[in-house]
Each structure stands twice: as structure tokens, then as C-alpha cells.
Amino acid sequence: MTQRLDEARAALRKTFGYDDFRPGQAEVIEAVLDGTDVFAVMPTGSGKSMTYQLPALIDPRLTVVVSPLIALMHDQVQQMRGFGVAAATLNSSVPEAESRQTWQAIRSGDLRLLFVSPERLLMEGCMEALRGAGVGRLAVDEAHCVSQWGHDFRPEYREIARAREALGSVQTLALTATADAATRAEIAERLFPAERPARTFVHSFDRPNIGLTFAAKDNPTRQIERFLRHRRSESGIVYCSSRKRTEQLAESLSKDGFRALPYHAGLDQRTRMKNQDTFLQEDGIVMTATVAFGMGINKPDVRFVCHADMPTNVEGYYQEIGRAGRDGLPADTLTLYGLDDMALRRRQIDEKDVPDERRRVERRKLEAMIALCEGAACRRQSLLAYFGEASGACGRCDLCRGGVTLVDGTVAAQKVLSAIVRTGQRFGAAYVCDVVGGKESEAIRRNGHAALKTFGVGADKPVAAWRAILRQLFAAGAVAENDDGYGGLTMTEKGEAILFGRETVALRPDPEPREAEPRGRRRNAAAGAGTDLDLSEGDEALFQHLRGLRASIARTEGIAAFMVFPDRTLIEMAKSKPVDLWALRSVHGVGERKREAYGERFVGAIAEFLAGDARRGSGTA
């Protein structure tokens, strides 16, 4: 098998321009080449797709890849064709003439990779025709869609096992970046028969190049603008919980000088696709989007991901932040959360028409997300622990940088709980905090609550501090929404135990969040990169010059910018400054096909830039 792995390594260098496998790739690829069924859980950015792409280059039989999104399939086909690999897709958006050409290539044995939606694969006649053409391998991408416990369940994925049997029980490879133990168990049960279990690889969920920052909501738009202010030349995603909010935030960021575009399912298809293409083809774009955006975006140089609202669960959060830094270079995240988010998410779960078991699982997942937001320990340590992985403190998240020490918050909690009870357990958070803080609003005067013993007992703290205490009590289950449907708060049994001194409660102070230092071009911090990717001022100018050339080519060809060359390749060009095609061979990410297609233009641009530098240095015009 070593010989076949050496073949794969040679194809990696020749086709993709990479010197060696990323950590964890080799053992999965070796198992695939050995013909066994494989189930691989690998983090985003680890090169999952290479585990079926490379075997398809070595094995002449057709590899069928099941993918959940048309946009993702389209990007993957374009990317493979850019590397000179025979690839095509079958889905509802493909014109009939193109489908006929694809089937002709399948029957003639010329096609190596076929990307197909599960609905198309399961259509009458499709599986039989593919079996007749001699499919050698079935790869199930985004395999968490199989599981009802996964964060992105697709009912049609449940039928893939039937397709596998119809294809002749072909070798099957299942891939996902996000799956806890329950989700992994269901994927294995659904896709692989008990008598033929798959070899399972669960690699580290750690993404050390991604910085994690959480902050309680104050003014979300202002907080996001502050986070982005040093990132105007970089691309990123801001996730919002509603369509309306994506448009409002895009408008606000645009007024503040950012190139911001909205994306949600309610936009007309032309606008949605135009905005997506702009994000892919150009640099410095901020996409404000619902969570529908991202799974189909194969863009490696997303430098930041923000959540304007608290995610629903940890798996979804991990999947979404995983869209940043897929090139292995440093990326940052910011997650905003508040009591309203927590209450909304709980209400959404309670109102779902689902079995009780499902509701209980979703509640547990939400509680884990809330605990991640409100935690006092290292964010990365807590995140990895959720997936069953032990780790030390990262030293880079907001809590590691700032440090948080829990304090006895029992007395403060009792003041808040007393105010909730004495006001009748029917008012919302803002009202309760005003009572505790001694803010005599018209409503408080009208209700006679200024005369309560608890009115003003917390005047020594700002209202924001009481909001933080109340939010943490809600997160801890001491406070809940009542049943009136208007957001009023009530005390739970746990809250009663705290109020009457039977339990104590530890709370974290709510310091100003320490924002990650803007990285700009400070890329040598990327863990595991193995090379110094820091850029001098002159190299930075050349990097931006090459970015401009890349954007021009991408617009002309109608492809994503990274399909020309990713950022990491341009960074290495800016550092090594190859001025001929031979020197370009040693640059990371430059395979034969890319060198033939774009090499002359890039080495020419580098030579032109260096000549201009020389003229400027000598003082000539």
C-alpha cells in the first residue's frame, strides 16, 4: 500500500502543487485506496475533499460524490476542472444538453468525479445507469445531514444507503467536519451495514488558527463595526438570525465604509447569486447572512466570522466558524449573545412539533451552547470538551487573554430574584433591572414598584451589571420565561433555592471583552503552517498587487478568486518573488495545470513590480 500512497503523493504535487499531505489525510487516503469503507470526521480546513479526489485520480473508475447543495457542487466541479481533472455534476440546475454530455462521459469512462444531489441520485433509472457504467466508489460529503441529531438534517440523505446497495454495495466513504458521539453513531448505522463496518477516523476538532471571542450584547451593530474596523481589506461573514437583520446590518456597515452585502433565502435568486459571486471573486467583502449561507461556499481565505446573535447549538456554531481560515492562516471570530437570544432559542424548541426525545436532545444542545457563552474557562478547551476531546488552555481566546475568576454572586442573585417575585413574576429583564437599580420609570411609578423594599437595592452597580447577572441566572436555570407570551420572567425551583439560601451561585463579572489583536498580514501565527508567512511592507505591497491580478482574472473567467490561486500561494509568491516558470514550481499550491494557465501572468506581474521598485529606488520615473 505504500506504493499506492506514494502514487497519491506524486499526484498531490503534480496536480495540486502541494508537497505533502495535511495531518490526518494520509491514513484516510491509504484506507480508501485499500478499498475499505471509511467514515472520517475531520475538521474544516483539514482537506477532507482530498480523501476522495486523490483516489479518483489514481483509480480510473468513477467516483460519485453526494453533496447537499447545488452551489457547492458547482464550485467543486469548477475547481477540479481548473486542476485538469475530469469532473461534472448532475442536479436540477444542469441544462439537458449538459446532462447528456455528462452521461456520455460517464459511459465512455472519461469522467473521474461526478457530483450529484441525493434527490438526483435516487431518481428512477439513475442508479441503474451508474451501476452499468461501473461506479467504483461512493463518497458522501457533509455526512452529518444523515442524522436527525445533526444540526443540518436532510431527510433525503436517509436514502443514500439504498442508493449504495443499488450501485452494487460499492466502497463508501462518509465525510463530515461536525459530529458529536450521538451523531457519529447514527451516521455509521445509517450508511454502513453491521456486517461490514467502516474504518472510522475521528481526528482532532481543534482549529488552532481560529481565535475565539465571545461578548454579551450591548449594541450589536457597534460591537461588530468595532471588531471589523481593522479588517477592511479582508473577507468575512456575519451571521444574523433573521433576513431583516442581514439587510439592516449590511446597510449600516456600508454606511460605515465597508463593502457589505446581504444574503438570505428571501432575496431574488439573481441578487443572491450576484452577491455570492462578488464575495467569491473579490477581496474585502463582508457578507451579512443567515446560516443558509456558507455550506456551499468553498472559499479558503475567509478571515473572520461573526455571529450577531447566539447560535442554536455547538455543532452549528463550530460548522459556521469553521468557514474561516480554511487555508490554515490566522482567522478571528466574534460571537455576541444575550438573554433575549437564550429565551428565543428555548421558546423555539418548546414550540416545535417534535417528539419529546428530540426536544430533550435539542434542549441539551442549547444548554451546551449557553454554557460555552457564559463559561469562565478557556473557550477552545470547552469547545473541544463538547466533542469529547481533552486539551490544555489555548492562551489565545478572549478568556485566556483576559482571565475570568468566578465570584460568589449569591447576594446579588437574591436581589434580582427578590425583585422578580415582588413585581409579580410578569415583567421582562429591562424592567426588573430598573427596579433593582432604582431607575424610577413611568411604568414603575404607575405600578407602585418604587415603594418595594427591593427598589434601588442595587443602585451601587450600573444597570449593565444587573443585566449581566440576570442573564447568567437565566443561563443557569434559576430564571425562566413565564407562560404569558410577553417575555415576562419567573423564578424556577433552582432560583427559589438560591433566594432562600439553600444554594449558592458563582457568577462571572462581565468585563469589557478583549478583542483579538488585528492580524493584518501577521500570518506567521498560523499553527502548524511550518513556515514564516509574515510579510514585510514591500512584500505586502506585492501581495496586494498579485491580489489585484487574481481578482481581474477571476472576474474575466467568472470563477472564484481562490480557484486562480489561494491567498497562501500569493503570500509565498510575494516572499520568494519567482520571475520565471521554473522558480514558480516550488511555490505552494502551483500544480502543472495552474502553472500553464496562469504562470506567465503572475511571474510577469512580479517582474513588473520589482522593476517598478528598482526605478523608484533609483529615483527615476
Q: Could you read off the pLDDT of 387-426 as tens digits, one per residue?
A: 888 888 888 898 888 777 778 889 999 999 999 999 999 8
Q: Which three cell numbers stand for residue 219?
A: 449594541
CA distances for 479 relative to 284, 343, 416, 423, angstroms: 43, 10, 10, 14
Write down the H helix ranges in 459-514.
463-475, 493-499
- Model pLDDT, residue 527: 35
Q: What is 535-618's CATH superfamily?
A: HRDC domain (1.10.150.80)
| The pairing of beta strand 199-202 with beta strand 285-289 | unpaired
Overall fold of domain 210-402: Rossmann fold (3.40.50)
The mean pLDDT value of the chain amounts to 87
pLDDT band with cut points at 50, 70 and 90 for residue 617: low
Question: What mean pLDDT do residues 80-94 have?
Answer: 89
Which residue spans within 253-380 are E strands per DSSP? 259-263, 285-289, 304-307, 331-337
Question: What mean pLDDT do residues 309-322 have?
Answer: 91
Residues 6+ apart with CB under 8 A from 194: none
Within the chain, all domains assigned CATH 1.10.10.10 are found at 407-507
Q: Which residue has the higher pLDDT, 521 or 514?
A: 514
CA distances for 315 relative to 30, 128, 163, 341, 362, angstroms: 28, 36, 27, 17, 11
125: left (phi over 0), alpha (psi -120 to 50) or beta: left
Residues 6+ apart with CB under 8 A from 499: 413, 414, 417, 418, 421, 491
Q: What are the b/e assignments for 278-294, b being 16+ CB within 10 Å?
A: ebbbbbebbbbbbbebb
Residue-wise pLDDT for 433-492, tens only, equals: 999 999 888 999 999 999 999 999 989 888 888 988 998 888 888 888 887 667 788 999
Task: Give percent above pLDDT 90 in the chain.
Answer: 41
Write down the H helix ranges in 240-338.
243-255, 269-281, 314-321
Q: Which three cell numbers stand for residue 401?
A: 487573554
- Model pLDDT, residue 520: 45
pLDDT band with cut points at 50, 70 and 90 for residue 245: very high
CA–CA separation, 545 and 540 (whole Å): 9
Inform me whether the pLDDT recorded for 361 exceeds 70: yes
Q: What are the b/e assignments for 40-76, b being 16+ CB within 10 Å?
A: bbbbbbbbbbbbbbbbbbbbeebbbbbbbbbbbbbbb
Closest by Cα among 428, 43, 32 to 207: 43
Residues 6+ apart with CB under 8 A from 69: 295, 296
- Model pLDDT, residue 517: 54
> Spelled out in words, what is the top-level CATH class assigned to the domain 407-507?
mainly alpha
Q: Residue 450 CA to chain centroid, in angstroms?
A: 48
Least confident of 375-379, 553-557, 595-599: 375-379
- Model pLDDT, residue 526: 37
Inform me whether the pLDDT recorded for 521 exceeds 90: no
CA–CA separation, 169 and 239 (whole Å): 40
Amino acid letter, 526: A
Q: Which residue in this structure is represented by grid cell 470547552?
A: 382
- Model pLDDT, residue 614: 58
pLDDT band with cut points at 50, 70 and 90 for residue 288: very high
How many other CB atoms are there within 10 angstroms of residue 183's CB atom?
22
Q: Which helix (H) or strand (E) holds 382?
A: helix 379-386
HSE of 536 in the Cβ direction (CA atoms, 13 Å)? 6
Residue-wise pLDDT for 149-194, tens only, equals: 666 778 888 889 888 888 888 999 999 987 778 888 889 999 998 8
- Model pLDDT, residue 523: 43
Within the chain, all domains assigned CATH 3.40.50.300 are found at 2-202, 210-402
Q: Is 481 helix (H, G, I), strand (E, B) or coil?
A: strand
User: Cβ(210)–Cβ(325) under 8 Å?
Assistant: yes
- Model pLDDT, residue 402: 78
Architecture category of domain 2-202 in CATH: 3-Layer(aba) Sandwich (3.40)
Q: What are the b/e assignments for 335-371, b being 16+ CB within 10 Å?
A: bbbbbbbbbbbbeebeeeeeeeeeeebbeebbbbbbe
Residue-wise pLDDT for 494-506, tens only, equals: 999 999 999 998 8
Inform me whether the pLDDT recorded for 274 exceeds 80: yes
CA–CA separation, 322 and 311 (whole Å): 14
Task: Give percent above pLDDT 70 in the chain.
Answer: 93
Closest by Cα among 289, 200, 288, 209 to 45: 209
pLDDT band with cut points at 50, 70 and 90 for residue 28: very high
Q: What secondary structure letter does DSSP report for 145?
A: G
Q: Which residue in this structure is represented by grid cell 500500500?
A: 1
Residue-wise pLDDT for 549-591, tens only, equals: 999 999 899 888 889 999 999 999 999 999 999 999 989 899 9
- Model pLDDT, residue 139: 95
- Model pLDDT, residue 149: 67
For the whole model, what pTM was predicted? 0.81
Inform me whether the pLDDT recorded for 19 exceeds 90: no
Strand arrangement, sheet containing 236-239:
210-216, 331-337, 304-307, 236-239, 285-289, 259-263
* Phi and psi torsions of 172, nearest 5°: -125, 135
Question: What mean pLDDT do residues 338-351 have?
Answer: 89
